[in-house]
A and B are shown apart, each in its own frame.
Chain A
Amino acid sequence: MGNFIISREDWSLHRKGELDKERHQEKVREAIKKNLPEILSDEAIIMSDGKKIIKVPIRSIEHYHFRYDFNKQKHTGQGNGGTKVGDVLGKESGSAKGGMGKGAGDLPGYDYYEAEVSIDELTEILLEDLELPHLKNKSKDEINHESYDFRDVRKKGLIGNIDRKKTVYEALKRNLLKNSENLYQITQEDLRFKTWDEEQRPESNAVIIAMMDSSGSMGPFEKYIARTFFFWLVRILKLKYQNVEIVYLSHHIEAKEVTEKEFFTKGESGGTKCSSVYQLALDIIKHRYNPQQYNLYAFHFSDGDNLSSDNERCLLLVNELLKVCNIVGYGEIEGPYYYTATLKKEFSKINSPNFVMTSLRDKVGVYQALKAFLKKDV
């Protein structure tokens, strides 16, 4: 006999790892909340193209200690033979900006915690964080409308509403239990029908009029900020309204309606006349979106470098827009240059409660802008 013992214990009560894991996850959720402004503008989300669940790379909750600078350290590795001085092993992972990158998994060093969050969940955290009360429909816009929602399954119903999947499942279950030979035989008792609930819902439509300055001074960074803003605006308004449409208007001296892609990518050169886009917005509203039926949200991004002769007209038209829109917003993206006569100065004369003006300096500013914009809508 050897001098050893082999045994198998009952470990089912040993839950330490799970408990501490939960504590860590709690800390991660706290961190998401705390870093919301940065996470909101994460490219992984904004470029997700409508995917419901996206992975947001979140730096895991670090436990700090004194350590060497990994990037300045010389490391030793091992190849499969024939490695030469000068061979490239990999590219730098995750730069400070954006902060993600696939390289993270390949190269050691930074520790990313890949939290799986759905956009809906993030929207919820965002709402919670903005301390907005539950969004309500405005009574004056209500046109009652019956809507149907298939959300129940019953044994009796119209044959046209048969739920095939559930029916086959029931048949299989029954046949298997009886050990019968033909598993696929369906009888009357297996049939399942989808049934609807009637719901009185206010018919509610919202239109976002997204306006952007596409003059030379608006670069990819400025567009990214605008894109992030509209991304979340749509998400949040969708919680409130049944249908949310978005109209993209781009302008320099002249304004035109463009596709989403053009809106966020195309740049023009030349000067800026913001009044052109306000006029176009008013025209579109007049022809397509009756303010009696639509909740209108207009938002304009610019760097504020407007032709000064145009400023007065802008003021006039924004006041017109304010008459028909729930909210009109103006976001001025502060560039590296400093203009004394920006539009912002002109707009500070407006004192309508439905007008929101914010300046954005960086990605984090999007969060502030959303906050300012949505607070008005409560």
Chain B
Amino acid sequence: MDELICLEKAAEEIEKIALGFGLDFFPMRFEICPAEIIYTFGAYGMPTRFSHWTFGKAYQKMRTQYDYNLSRIYELVINTNPCYAFLLEGNSLVQNKLVIAHVYGHSDFFKNNWHFKNTNRKMLETMSVHARRIDEFSFRYGKEKVEKFLDAVLSIEEHIDPYEGTIKEQSSNKKIKEVNNPYADIWFETNNEKRENEKNERKPVKDLLGFIGRNSRYLEEWQREMIFMVREEMKYFWPQLKTKIMNEGWAAYWHIRIMRELDLTEDESIEFAKLNSQILYPSRFSINPYLLGLKIFENIEKRFGRDMIFEVREIDSDVSFIRNYLTEELAEELDLYNFQKVGGEWRVTEKSWEKIRDNLVLSLNNCGFPYIEILDGDYGKNGELYLRHRYEGIELDIHYLERTLPYVYELWGKPVHLETVVDRKHVLFTYNGEKHSRKIL
């Protein structure tokens, strides 16, 4: 019990300092849990999420790394109101102080960044409802069938339109409240109408899950329901994917400043410094979001003052954050570089800061996923699905592509085509339910 009291004292002090700095966060709920639980949450993204073997795989990987002492998650924080943070059992007091300080940064970010404005803050409950529904389906239709279907749905889970409808639907909701009569929905698009409109409009649709969920003729109701559940969960995760560098940088910025205000003993200070440098270690083959985010925020503060960083945390996402605030001086100081495969070797190919900035922006576009859209849901007047990859200079992994198309086929029930660029040529990949083919356009 002693430990909890110490922790409570520390949290109280930290919260006071955070408020003093002007952070504005949700009420906090800290839970201390054993490693398996933290790693479960890490793998699933949410403690209450549905079951699938891919999460089991992620869990095993994290768990092994923890067991071999290769890496540790000290904390996990969830964008909800109140904001839940899970602390690893066995953390030392200093570790916990750092984590708590860090988490206050995240909570402030969740509450204030524009991209999180429309996230469902009751997602813990929503996801547990989803998980229960999926359990019911497994019971009713068979575990294997549901797993197989989830395999297919999850294979295109990132292809949603995260901000689709947010503006329209919001105003719609307002109208419902204003009108408040049983026929109010006459004013709004129903799913059926939307289906018709989609057919007629022929505008590219980014929301693969939504389009297939509404328009596929081969799905049963429970399958449509599952598609929309997965889609809703991805919509919830999207802002986090979109602000990874900012969010971690912001939290790191604040944990450093809050820790400085605490009265640490010499030993504690050393432990903190060690831990901090582990978190902020540069990574040769990728970008450490904690470090890059922190350095950019510090640089913004240096140039424009502290108020400016609060403004940036409110309106930017990683793409604009990098595009607007990564400077030549920073790229130099951080020793950033672009690298690629030359022959059999990974070699540094560019050091110019503009090239680095542009490459980062490119790789962060659409949260790092290829941008794929539906051009036609009735291709060849035969109900076939025509997808197009918006090529922006990076080719798709063909091996993966040819293994993903059958999943899409499973959802659509008719031949599926994907247009992309390979070796500067436009190529159309097709899967017709039996075999693959490709042709140059």
Contacts and interface: CB of A to CB of B under 8 A. Distances in A.
Given A75-B286, A83-B337, 6 more contacts: A69-B396, A72-B395, A78-B287, A78-B291, A79-B337, A89-B345
Contact of B345 (A2, A75, A91): A91
A92 B344 contact: yes
B397 A3 contact: no
Interface string A42-68: 000000000000000000111111111
12 contacts: A7-B31, A9-B31, A11-B33, A60-B57, A68-B394, A72-B395, A76-B286, A76-B287, A78-B292, A78-B335, A79-B282, A83-B348
Q: How large is the interface on A (under 10, 10 to 19, 20 to 34, 35 or more residues)?
A: 35 or more
- B contacts with A: majority SS: mixed
A78 B346 contact: no
B317 interface: no
Interface string A1-17: 11111111101001011
Interface in A128-152: none
B207 to A, nearest CB: 15
B16 interface: yes
B136 interface: no
Interface stretch (A21-29, A228-236, A258-266, A315-323): A21-29
Q: Which of A60, A87, A108 has the most CB of B within 10 A?
A: A87
Interface in A105-136: 106-108, 113
B407 interface: yes
A9 B84 CA distance: 13
Contact of B397 (A14, A16, A17, A67): A67
B304 interface: no
A74 interface: yes
Interface of A: 1-9, 11, 14, 16-25, 27, 60-92, 106-108, 113
Interface string B51-79: 11111110110010000000000000000
A4 B83 CA distance: 9
B51 A19 contact: yes
Nearest to A114: B64
B51 A6 contact: no
Given A5-B30, A6-B11, A8-B4, A77 B284 contact: yes
Interface string B383-421: 000000100001111101101100100000000001000
B23 interface: no
A88 B347 contact: yes
A64 B407 contact: yes
Contacts of B282: 78-80
Contact of A66 (B341, B360, B400): B400
A19 B400 contact: no
Contacts of B334: 78
Contacts of A60: 57
B215 interface: no
A6 B30 contact: yes
B56 A24 contact: yes
A75 B363 contact: yes
Given A24-B53, A77-B283, A67 B396 contact: yes
B339 A77 contact: yes
B36 interface: yes
Contact of A76 (B356, B396, B397): B356
